[in-house]
Structures are given as structure tokens and as C-alpha cells.
Structure 1
Amino acid sequence: MLSLRLTDNAELRALETWQAEELAQHVAAAQEHLAPWLPWVESVATPDGATTLLQRYADAQARGEGRILGVWVDGKLSGGVLFRVWENTTGVCEVGVWLAPEVTGRGLITKAVTVMIDWAFQVRGMHRVEWRCAAANERSSAVARRLGMTLDGTLREAFPRNGERHDVELWSVLATEWPVER
């Protein structure tokens, strides 16, 4: 199994279709925490829904247009990072994340997204990485700031969720702004 150590007890590794049951259990356990921010949570909290999501990313990866990785803490799937959007022709991609509440505040998402951005710029030659989050999701905005992203603006009422429309912040970092050496 290929993996990248994020901390002494956390690692980043591929999240594949054969792990659908594990993903479904993880999402179901964290559903209340994740649901306000992520529209896919309800559907992925079932094995069939998790399989569908993972197959979509496997297909995207096969086309060179996306990727999904899991974050395991103490051997337990606890979150993930993904390229939600990947546009080879424009050199623009969007990274997305989620994390179980019991492992927040440890810098895991910042470390995992740093790996993803490094890969997008240095290996795949992307020009711009975007980060979108509900404007009310202060933790997500804080990650974008820690990553050195610029707030490009707010998309007013762009995110319909639970019968309400929410503003979305659009953050980005360009390849020319991203430090090569860490």
C-alpha cells in the first residue's frame, strides 16, 4: 500500500472503490458534522452511494481529471481530500476536503492539501488551484488562509443547501505564488 505520512499517527493514501463500505461508515458517523457544508454526505453514507462516488473519482483519475485520497488517523479513515474539478485545458482545478470532528484542529487538512497542491503544480503543471467554501464555514476559510490562498471574492447565494441559499467564498493560489521549497 502506498501512503504518505502526514503526522506520527496520520497518513494520506488512495481511497478506492473497494473501500466503499469503510467510507460509508465513516461518513455516516460524521454525518451531522459534515452535512451543513457538503451536499453529498447523505448519499455517500450508504455503501451504494459511497461506491458511486468512489467510482466517479476512479473514472476521473483514469482520464487524468481528478483524484480522491483518504486521511487515516490511527488506522481509521477520518477524512479526505479530492480534486472536485480538474480542467486540463485551462490549468485550473479545485480541491475539496472533509474531516471527522474528532480529529479536527490537528493541521491534517492543511498538510494533506499542501501535498495535493504540490502535486497539481509540480507534477501535473496546473496553473491555478481553487478552494470554495460556504462563507459561514470559518474553519474552511482558515485553511485557505493558512495555505496562502487569496480570497478572490464571494459568490452570493450560490450554494443551495437545506432549503436555503448560502454565499460561497472563492479562494485561489497560482503556481507562481506557491513555494516550491518547504
Structure 2
Amino acid sequence: MVPGACLTDVRLVPARPEHVDFWLEMRAAPGARRFVETGEDSRELLLRRILEAGALGRPGARSFRWFVEADGQLAGTVSARELSRAHGRAELGYMMADAYHGRGLGTRAVGLMLEELFTLPFLQRVWLTTLAENAASRGVARKLGFTLEGTLRGHCLFQGQRRDQQLWGLLRDEWASSRASRG
């Protein structure tokens, strides 16, 4: 992959056990460690998370995980967790490999995930959190129509320091409206 090259084919593939080594390597890279605690990861833990991720729409599933392919190469992962059918909500997460940062891949991948998630008729709201200093994740949220709902001051401990987290939300109607305006 040529740095800065335009990615033409971006798709989500269901998480499979054979993705675990890529995921472990991606989480160990310097770019991942800037905003996510990944030091305690083990192959076994990540494999268990892959195996526990449900199929979209499967009764009882509380989380989903896909891997992102860009031009046929694994490039990242996206997930939905804390799925509540009773409240119609889910929390989103995403991470792209260092080689794919800064090219809009996160926005495209999360957009594809939202398309999948909003096929669930009960889902009314999705949310995500970002560290306040994570400009790239804030950009993904804004571009996809999320609303900054607040800053949770000193909410998490990251690299031994208290950090602020921002809470972003997107409602089903807002997603449908933003899709319609994009054509």
C-alpha cells in the first residue's frame, strides 16, 4: 500500500479467529497506544472477544465486531458493544492500523458500520467516547453527524493521568437525515 494512496474498496467483514494476530499487532503499534490502553492485551483475550461477538440481529447478542478491509488488506476494526434492546442503544468503537491513519478510512468504516447497525429495528441511538485530545476521532464523529453531548471531566485514567472524555451521540432520525442529504 502506497502511503496516501486513495482507497477504493472498503468493506466490513465479520470477525473471525484468524484476524486475532492482525488485531494484536495493530493494538501494539505506536498510533494505537496514543489514545487506547493496549498494554494488557493477550492473544487469548482478543480471541475470546472475537468469539463472543455475535452475528448482527442474532437474538441475545450484546456486541458485534467487524474487521475493516481496504483494497483487500486488513486495515482496522469496528465494534458495537453494550447493546441494549430495551433501551435501543449501543456503544461504538473503532481503531485503524497506523498505515491507514489520515485517509478517511475510519469515517468510511464507521459509516458502513452505522448502515449495518441501523438495520436493527429496535436501535434508536448509538454513542461513542473519545479522549478530548483525539482530534481524529472527533473528526470521525463530526463527519458522520454525531453531536457532542458533553465532556466527562477527569473521567478516565490513561497512561497514569486523569483525562477528559467526550461523549458523542447519534439518533436514528439524525442518521437517516444525514444519509438523505449526502444523496
Same fold (TM over 0.5): yes
2:142 aligns with: 145
Q: 1:59 to 1:69 in 2, by over 3 A?
A: closer
Pair 1:176–1:10, CA change in 2 (3 A): closer
Give the Cα–Cα distance (whole angstroms) in 1 for the partners of residues 98 and 89 of structure 2.
30
Q: CA deviation at 1:114?
A: 1.4
1:119 to partner: Cα distance:
2.5
Which of 157, 163, 177 in structure 2 is aligned with 1:166?
Answer: 163
Q: How does 1:51-66 map to 2 (within 5 A)?
A: 51-58=47-54, 63-66=60-63
1:133 is aligned to 130
For 1:94-133, what aligned pairs fall within 5 Å after superposition?
Answer: 94-133=91-130
Q: Distance in 2 between matches of 1:158 and 1:56?
A: 27
Residue 163 of structure 1 and its aligned partner are, at CA, apart by: 1.2
After TM superposition, where is structure 1 displaced by more than 6 Å over at least 4 residues in a row?
A: none
- Which residue among 75, 78, 90 is the counterpart of 2:75? 78
- Counterpart code for 1:23: W
Taking the aligned partners of 2:153 and 2:118, their CA distance within structure 1 comes to 29
**Counterparts of 2:119 and 2:44, CA distance in 1:** 35
Alpha-carbon distance change, 77 to 61 in structure 1, aligned in 2, over 3 angstroms: farther
1:108: how far off?
1.5
CA shift, 1:25, in A, is 2.9
| 2:54/2:62 contact within 8 Å kept | no
- Contact kept, 8 Å, 1:16 with 1:58, in 2: the verdict is no
What letter corresponds to residue 54 of structure 1 in structure 2?
Answer: I
Please report how far the alpha carbon of residue 67 of structure 1 lies from its aligned counterpart in structure 2 after TM superposition.
Answer: 0.5
2:153 corresponding residue in structure 1: 156
Query: 2:62 touches 2:81 (CA, 8 Å); kept in 1?
Result: no
Q: Which residue of 2 aligns with 1:16?
A: 16
TM-aligned CA deviation for residue 161 of structure 1: 1.2
Q: Offset at 1:116?
A: 1.9
Unaligned runs of 5+ in 2: 1-6
- When residues 145 and 77 of structure 1 are mapped into structure 2, their CA distance, relative to the original with a 3 A threshold, is same
Matched, 1:49 2:57: no
Whether the 8 Å contact between 2:92 and 2:127 is mirrored in structure 1 is yes
- Identity, % of aligned pairs? 27
Distance 1:61 1:51, change over 3 A: farther
CA distance 1:70–1:129, shift in 2 (3 Å): same
Q: Specify every segment of 5 or more residues in structure 1 that has no aligned partner in the other structure, as ranges.
A: 1-6
State how many pairs are aligned: 172
Deviations 1:22-57, CA, capped at 9 Å, x for gaps: 3223333x2x11113223x2233x422321221232
1:70–1:81 Cα contact (<8 Å) kept: yes
TM-score normalised by structure 1 residue count: 0.83
